Chain A
Amino acid sequence: MLRDITERKRAEDEIRTARDTAEAALRDLKAAQASLIHAEKMASLGQLTAGIAHEIKNPLNFVNNFADLSVELLDELKQTTAPAVAALDEETCTEVDEIVRMLTGNLAKIAEHGRRADGIVKSMLAHSRGSSSDRQNVDINALVEEALNLAYHGARAQDQNFNITLERELDADAAPIELVPQDVTRVFLNLFGNGFYATDKRRRDTGEPSFRPKLKVTTRDLGEAVEIRVRDNGIGIAPEFRDKMFQPFVTTKPTGEGTGLGLSISYEIITQQHGGVIEVDSRVGEFTEFTVRLPRYQRPVMTEAAS
């Protein structure tokens, strides 16, 4: 009788273990499926984005070139007609001057916004970079350090009042890793830039005098991969936004300040081009932490961006 019970208990335990294993496998499978679907969606969005950019670039070039030329032409017109205009009565003369001034202003605006659009198109085209870029064996710490300096000085150049405490926890034993340096640098510039923006926004929004903007970069050699963490104590990212933040044109910045392409390009560079992983953890009003893992051994055929 007692043995019966022990026997049954053991059987139950086995069943429970088997069920847990099966459930864990199912969870893993669901996660893998979700990430596959996500990767596929991102890849086609990237291609679509690059395709649109190609189509827009040509007409946009005409807008920009003709706007610039028209400014010159108007200037010439003004000079050529100056004696004749001066001979007109005062009221007409003022009106002619005012119209010419407005026209010049309008053309300058067309040129200015055209260049803004051109900047966006250029970022979009970065989605279609071929796999031709050179892979090099680089020191990840040096690369991170360089990007951090670039981002910091870039932010200071834009806003002299910008300030932040930068912390580095770099794994001195991290062995060199093969990657495309300019593209990975671009990812870090994006992540650091976003971190700076988030901390600065928190400082401006809350106005807490005790708040100290901080960004911490950690590198760690995991053997098969290298891990880079970028953590800021900024405004954080709302949970509902985390699902779509890697999609093109998704931004929380005000119009004109962000293209919504930084993270989508970063995602493509890390996952498609380098076969790595980029993840985010965040709590609103507290912190955001991005984790990038770059595998040391390239999985084959990861880059097949449209050329």
Chain B
Amino acid sequence: MSVSILVVDDEPDVVELLRQCFRREARQGTYVMHFVDSGEAALERLSGNIEPALIAVLSDINMPGMDGLQLLSAIKQRCPDLPVMMVTAYGDDDRRRQAAVGGAAEFLTKPVDFERLKALLRQLSGSQFEETRRSIE
């Protein structure tokens, strides 16, 4: 069973980085990664249909236009249950607090600890499977 992750980052190399990082999972069909380069593009993508089921949004904070924290609050208004993880190069208390107040599921600092990210996603997709199984039963 496959699930989707939406990645929001204005740095184009993030696409290559995460594709390489999740190459095994992608080959096995565990995760399908979707990439957008702005908060605005993320909202547009979210308003459409994302297949397979979206389990998490991974968003950068510092972006031109709508920043990650604004995106977080916009997503929380539309789909309060969708986990949003903030990823930022600046792990200062202020951003951390704002992310927590805004309802972020997780706050990760760059350089991203891939093992931790994978563990978090495994948890999320695990609970997703649970929900799907329950809804089938």
Binding site for B on A (CB under 8 A): 54, 57-58, 60-62, 64-66, 68-69, 73, 118, 125, 128-130, 132-133, 307
Contacts and interface: CB of A to CB of B under 8 A. Distances in A.
A10 B90 CA distance: 69
Nearest to B110: A61
A279 to B, nearest CB: 30
B11 interface: yes
Given A58-B89, A130-B94, 6 more contacts: A57-B89, A61-B111, A65-B112, A66-B20, A69-B114, A128-B92
B111 A125 contact: no
Contacts of A62: 11, 13, 17
A130 B92 contact: yes
B64 to A, nearest CB: 13
Contact of B111 (A54, A65, A129, A132): A65
Given A57-B110, A58-B11, A61-B89, A69 B17 contact: yes
Nearest to B11: A58
Nearest to B97: A132
A259 to B, nearest CB: 18
A133 B89 CA distance: 20
A288 to B, nearest CB: 33
B43 interface: no
Interface string B15-31: 00100110000000000
29 contacts: A54-B90, A57-B89, A57-B90, A57-B110, A58-B89, A61-B89, A61-B110, A61-B111, A62-B11, A62-B13, A62-B17, A64-B111, A65-B17, A65-B21, A65-B110, A65-B111, A65-B112, A69-B20, A69-B21, A69-B114, A73-B20, A125-B90, A125-B92, A128-B92, A129-B92, A130-B92, A130-B93, A132-B94, A307-B94
Contacts of A130: 92-94
Interface in B84-137: 89-90, 92-94, 110-112, 114
Nearest to A69: B20
Closest 6 CB pairs of A and B: A61-B110, A61-B111, A64-B111, A57-B89, A65-B111, A69-B20
Nearest to B89: A57
Nearest to B93: A132
A59 to B, nearest CB: 9
Contact of A66 (B17, B94, B110): B17
Most chain A CB atoms below 10 A, which of B20, B89, B112: B89
A128 B94 CA distance: 12
A130 B92 CA distance: 9
Contacts of B13: 62
Interface in B53-84: none
Given A132-B94, A307-B94, A58 B20 contact: no
Nearest to A134: B93
Given A62-B13, A69-B17, A118 B90 contact: no
A125 B94 CA distance: 14
Contacts of A129: 92
